[in-house]
Amino acid sequence: QLVDLPVLGLVGGLQRRVNGLDAVERAAPAALRSGVRLELAEPPAAPLRIVCNRSDLADIVGELLENAVKYAGAPGARITVGAALRDGAVAVEVADDGPGLTAEERAASTTRFWRSPEHSGSRGTGLGLAIVEQLAEANGGGLVLAAGSPRGLVARVEFPTGVGSDG
């Protein structure tokens, strides 16, 4: 399916719908309980399009947001959600300023059932990022995990641009 990202909850004040639900609004109650601030990044200058199953994209964004809210850390942490054209691909990004993961942890984090030793007592199965990676790959994309600056984690799913994309 050709998906317009402004219709998928990933750009500023435009329609922010993900398969009939707003992913950021769905994550807002948990963020509020945790004292974490959710922000939408500035919208891209032109609409971005990807070829992706809408349900899969909603699951990807939802899982990345759930992980960011759960692991961003102390109250006052910030999570930013956005989409942008990056090196010829459309990047859907969820970034937080929490403690992040080491390079070794980022490499291991997409392994099924992997849990960070620091979060072994947290609820969850250790499947989230493995599922995100599989869904991204099933739709022609890929998951990139990077260190935030000056701290935190940047989870970016990169998709080839869809037919009719500007750029």
The per-residue pLDDT string of the chain (167 residues; one tens digit each, 9 = 90 and over) reads 545 554 344 433 333 444 334 677 788 888 888 899 888 888 787 778 888 888 888 899 999 999 999 888 778 899 999 888 888 899 999 999 999 999 999 998 888 877 777 766 677 777 889 999 999 999 999 999 999 999 999 999 999 887 544 44
Spatial CB neighbours of 146, under 8 Å, sequence gap ≥ 6: 106, 153, 154, 156
Task: Give the separation between CA 141 and CA 161, rounded to whole angstroms.
Answer: 10
Strand, helix or coil at 65? helix
| Nearest CA-CA partner of 3 in 18, 14, 24 | 18
Q: How far is CA 87 from the centre of its chain?
A: 18
Rounded to 5 degrees, φ, ψ at 83 are -140, 140
